[in-house]
């Protein structure tokens, strides 16, 4: 089935198409247009000509669009969930949760649209500000480029799209080529909700052509991207004077002290490592366990890993489905083999069937191996022992990434020590680094990105302060 893209205010067919496959069955689901650089330029030029429509739209009407959008999503929960599961291999249970979170993201964006503060500046607090009065407002940037990943094709898109609407921006939206149908459904729902046809372009195709053309385009004033470090670095090199928000990779760590109620949280730690076959930016990739409880922890953790039901993502009882494609499954399998060859212990075993890489743990892995240093994005976790706080702080920080970290301890002084010294965007005490609610400031440091998401914080990223000052003398 050949699908359409949207620009010039209407749905359009393509000339060339690419196939979208189900990661589990490997069957072709549908085909989407593979656009050229020229197509992108024409589509964005049209948005630029019409950007005043959104800029001049009052806030209450932007909020109405978001409210309508939320209602449509609520009415189509199962349709969205099933499509998410089909395209990215997420279990149907995980997909339904993503839809619920997406509804929350729209809700918070609606609230922010209605309540976003624009302030009076107290000029007379300065001796140079006597008889001056002024205030600032927030203006839209204009055309915003939104480039999204496969692993949360709905909610991560909404984290960019919903605040863009609230700010009054026009949108050029490129979803991951693995998950374009979810992207199309978002655009269909937006148009039904009342978003102006002249102010959105939905473009599909390769990152090299479509993605880079969006980033380089002079009319695009901001890029909001979630994806790999390598692509994020490329965007930062070619975006010139644009506003950029980059949500990139991680190899998130969890630190478990013996004073914590760690057994109570084992199920959470397993879920945090193997949800979506480990293909989550804040998946637990490294667990550091205090030496005195290391063997007991590994034994009990492994028992839970063995009970993960792997299979068809659309079946209700399935806990974990496939990786996004066989190439990535082969790559992750090779990392496990490399670790085993270098003295690490992989349990229960290394096992792969096409796109399915079965869940496992890696004990006593050298910290310089790929499975520790790079982003795995795969269903395994490294579990290594530590003896003291300084040692484990060094190990956690010995990474090019810095997104989130989980610390399990009852010691409040230790919790604050780690909060101050761990180089990440978020420190989660007595929970996993995979914890995220959609209103919190989310983002990282170092190779994990630039800027913060969460509707309130995205409004800052996707709008511009404009100041007016009156001289009353």
Cα gap 421→307, rounded to integer Å: 36
Task: Please give the distance of CA 406 from its chain centroid, rounded to a whole number.
Answer: 18
Cα gap 332→324, rounded to integer Å: 12
Give me the catalytic one of 88, 199, 281, 360. Answer: 281
Asked if 464 and 139 count as a contact pair (C-beta separation under 8 A), the reply is yes
* Torsion of the alpha carbons at 45, 47, 53 and 59, rounded to the nearest 10: -140
Asked if 360 and 383 count as a contact pair (C-beta separation under 8 A), the reply is no
Element (H, E) at 1: none
Residue 228 exposure: Cα atoms within 13 Å on the Cβ side: 11
Measured CA distances, 236 to 18, 143, 218, 400 (Å)? 27, 18, 15, 17
Give me the catalytic one of 3, 87, 94, 247. Answer: 247
Task: State yes or no: is 130 an active-site residue.
Answer: no
Asked if 113 and 66 count as a contact pair (C-beta separation under 8 A), the reply is yes
DSSP per-residue codes, 236-293: HHH-TT-EEEEE-----EEEE-TTS-GGGGHHHHHHHHHGGGG-STT---EEEEEGGG
Measured CA distances, 442 to 281, 430, 439, 466 (Å)? 11, 18, 8, 26
Q: Where are the alpha helices (DSSP H) in 321-425?
A: 326-341, 370-373, 389-397, 412-421
- Among residues 392, 393, 322, 335, which one has the least CA distance to residue 365? 335
Asked if 35 and 5 count as a contact pair (C-beta separation under 8 A), the reply is yes
* Beta pairing, strands 286-290 & 345-347: unpaired
- Among residues 74, 102, 225, which one has the least CA distance to residue 158? 102
Asked if 356 and 322 count as a contact pair (C-beta separation under 8 A), the reply is yes
Residue 348: cis peptide before it, omega within 30 degrees of 0: yes
Q: Which residue pairs from 424-427 have beta carbons closer than 8 angstroms and sit at least 24 positions apart in sequence?
A: 424/448, 425/449, 425/452
Measured CA distances, 107 to 64, 67, 162, 320 (Å)? 11, 7, 9, 29
Cα gap 12→8, rounded to integer Å: 9
Task: State yes or no: is 78 an active-site residue.
Answer: no
Residue 293 exposure: Cα atoms within 13 Å on the Cβ side: 17
Give me the active site residues, please: 247, 281
């Amino acid at each position: 089935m050949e699908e359409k893209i949207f620009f010039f205010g209407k749905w359009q067919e393509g000339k060339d198409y690419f196939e979208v496959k189900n990661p589990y069955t490997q069957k072709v689901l549908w085909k989407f247009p593979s656009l050229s650089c020229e197509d992108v330029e024409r589509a964005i030029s049209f948005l630029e000509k019409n950007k005043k429509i959104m800029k001049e739209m009052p806030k209450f009407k932007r909020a109405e669009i978001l409210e309508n959008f939320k209602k449509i999503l609520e009415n189509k929960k199962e349709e969205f969930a099933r499509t998410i599961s089909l395209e990215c291999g997420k279990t149907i249970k995980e997909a339904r949760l993503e839809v619920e979170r997406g509804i929350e993201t729209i809700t918070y964006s609606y609230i922010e649209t209605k309540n976003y503060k624009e302030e009076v500046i107290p000029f007379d607090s300065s001796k140079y500000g006597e008889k001056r009065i002024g205030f600032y407002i927030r203006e839209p940037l204009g055309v915003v480029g939104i480039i999204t990943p496969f692993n949360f094709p709905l909610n991560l898109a909404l984290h960019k799209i919903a605040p863009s609407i609230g700010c009054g921006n026009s949108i050029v939206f490129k979803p991951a080529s693995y998950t374009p149908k979810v992207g199309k459904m978002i655009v269909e729902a937006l148009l039904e909700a009342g978003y102006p046809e002249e102010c959105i372009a939905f473009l599909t195709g390769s990152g090299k052509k479509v993605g880079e053309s969006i980033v380089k385009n002079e009319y695009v004033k901001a890029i909001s991207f979630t994806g790999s470090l390598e692509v994020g670095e490329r965007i930062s090199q070619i975006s010139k004077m644009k506003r950029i928000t980059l949500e990139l990779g991680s190899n998130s760590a969890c630190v478990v002290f013996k004073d914590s109620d760690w057994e109570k949280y084992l199920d959470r730690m397993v879920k945090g490592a193997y949800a979506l076959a480990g293909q989550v930016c804040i998946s637990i990739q490294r667990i550091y366990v205090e030496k005195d409880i290391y063997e007991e922890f590994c034994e009990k953790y492994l028992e839970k890993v063995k009970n993960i039901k792997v299979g068809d993502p659309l079946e209700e009882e399935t806990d974990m489905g496939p990786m996004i494609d066989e190439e990535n499954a082969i790559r992750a399998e090779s990392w496990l083999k490399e670790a085993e060859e270098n003295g690490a212990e992989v349990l229960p075993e290394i096992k792969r069937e096409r796109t399915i890489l079965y869940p496992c743990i890696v004990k006593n892995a050298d910290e310089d191996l790929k499975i520790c240093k790079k982003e795995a994005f795969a269903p395994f976790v490294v579990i290594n022992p530590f003896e003291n706080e300084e040692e484990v702080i060094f190990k956690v920080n010995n990474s090019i990434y810095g997104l989130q970290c989980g610390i399990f301890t009852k010691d409040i002084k230790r919790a604050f020590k780690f909060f101050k010294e761990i180089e990440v965007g978020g420190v989660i005490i007595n929970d996993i680094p995979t914890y995220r609610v959609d209103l919190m400031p989310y983002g990282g440091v170092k190779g994990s990105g630039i800027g913060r998401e969460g509707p309130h914080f995205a409004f800052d990223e996707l709008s511009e302060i404009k100041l007016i000052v009156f001289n009353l003398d």
